Amino acid sequence: MVNELIELSRVETGKADLKVEPIVLNILVTEVISHLKTQAERKQIAIIDKLEETLPAVQADAEKLQQVITNIVHNAIKFTPAGGKSRLRIK
């Protein structure tokens, strides 16, 4: 948590180091979902991903973008009632 606060401070002051490179979103999202799959299964939550097959690569910092997507999916799991569904769509 301390590292996240330090990173947030860097972002807010414009001092964050970004490693910008081409990122294939489908691969990144699939990895995040795979990583959180067990957590979703424990709550019997189905994560439904709708990924466009022809998305172009985006210029981004892979690690930071992965943190953002992980937070979104984690919150979806956390706040979806047991037995529910969470849909993730990238377009």
Number of structural domains (the chain) is: 1
Interhelix angle 25-42/62-79, rounded to 10 degrees, is 30
2 vs 33 pLDDT, higher one: 33
Residue 17: pLDDT over 90: no
Residue type, 83: G
Please give the model's pTM, rounded to 2 decimal places: 0.81
| Of 4-13, 46-55, 63-72, the least confident | 4-13
Question: Does a structural domain hold residue 52?
Answer: yes
For residue 37, the model assigns a pLDDT of 95
Question: Does a structural domain hold residue 6?
Answer: no
For residue 8, the model assigns a pLDDT of 64
The Cα 27–Cα 90 span in angstroms is 12
What CATH code is carried by the domain that includes residue 64? 3.30.565.10
Give me the mean pLDDT over the 16-43 stretch.
Answer: 92
Question: Does a structural domain hold residue 8?
Answer: no
Which structural domain, as residue segments, surrounds residue 49? Answer: 18-90
